[in-house]
Structure 1
Amino acid sequence: MSTTVKAIDIVVSDLGAAIEFYRRLGLEFVPDPYMPDNHAGCDLPNGLHLMLDTEDMRRKTTEGWTPPALGRTFLTFEYDGPAAVDATYAELVSAGVHGLQEPFDAPWGMRYATVADPSGNGVDLYATQPAS
């Protein structure tokens, strides 16, 4: 049996706020014409599809589902350099996004920062540090 990961689904509280947040990170979500208030999708390179579903949609499609107290999955964005991580983090936080971890030089050789999307899902921002 062969399987392929084709899509990742992020559950959000407010679809419009999530679409705007991810737009700031360069992703363009398109609301589904059949469920414009509950589902949107974004095609990524290599055939991967990223989806946003509202909590209401998830409750309707998964019996007994409730939002977790804390997110367990973090979507990660790679940047060209450390300055871009710092600038993106600063832009997001100044726009009211909740910063979870200010940019720092990680011991594994990356500039790293973390914010929360409007529903509290973690979003990491990173860049590989230049070789010294």
Structure 2
Amino acid sequence: MDIALRYCHITVNDLDESLAFYRDALGLEVRNDVSSGEFRWVTLGGTTQPDLELVLSEPHAGRSKDDGDALRELLAKGALPMIIFSTDDLDATFERLRTSGAEVMQEPIDQPWGPRDCAFRDPSGNMVRFQQRSKA
């Protein structure tokens, strides 16, 4: 049996503002941009994992008003789960995002539990971490 992660949802406040981070600064490519009524879902992916897509959507997209309100509140608090990427060049990734204007939460450091990493907040307040990929 072969199981692989296909989609990972990221809740954002503003899709266009988030595209400036995930597409323009991070370099992911837009795979789909789908509207349904007043809502929109955008999927992005990278070349190293062609079958994995991040799905950006606003809190109320496809949800009840109460669920969307609750999700929006958690997003505002920065309480949603973080996203962790790996990269083959942490310092270059850090500089690319920093110069794009992304909010730096942590400069690259060697963590006591092992990885060298850094952290940013996306425009909606989600924590996005980057780990140095170990060289095989």
- TM-score normalised to the size of structure 1? 0.76
**Alpha-carbon separation, structure 2, partners of 1:129 and 1:8:** 23
- Cα distance, 1:109 vs. partner? 2.7
What amino acid is aligned across from residue 27 of structure 1 in structure 2? L
Taking structure 1 as reference, are residues 114 and 35 closer, same or farther at Cα in structure 2, changes over 3 Å only?
Answer: farther
- Cα distance, 1:97 vs. partner? 0.8
Match of 1:50 in 2: 54
Match of 1:77 in 2: 85
Cα RMSD for the two superposed structures: 2.8
- Cα distance, 1:105 vs. partner? 0.9
Structure 1, unaligned runs of 5 or more: none
Output aligned runs, 1:1-132, within 5 Å: 6-23=6-23, 24-29=25-30, 30-34=32-36, 38-43=40-45, 45=49, 47-57=51-61, 61-65=63-67, 66=70, 67=72, 68=74, 69-80=77-88, 84-128=89-133
Task: Check conservation: 2:91, 2:108, Cα contact below 8 A.
Answer: yes
**Alpha-carbon separation, structure 2, partners of 1:4 and 1:129:** 21
Identical aligned residues as a percent: 29
Task: Check conservation: 1:103, 1:112, Cα contact below 8 A.
Answer: yes
- TM-score normalised to the size of structure 2? 0.74
Taking structure 1 as reference, are residues 130 and 108 closer, same or farther at Cα in structure 2, changes over 3 Å only?
Answer: farther
- Cα distance, 1:5 vs. partner? 5.0
Structure 2, unaligned runs of 5 or more: none
| Count of matched residue positions in the alignment of Structure 1 and Structure 2 | 124
Structure 1 stretches of 4+ with a deviation exceeding 6 A read none
- Cα distance, 1:43 vs. partner? 4.8
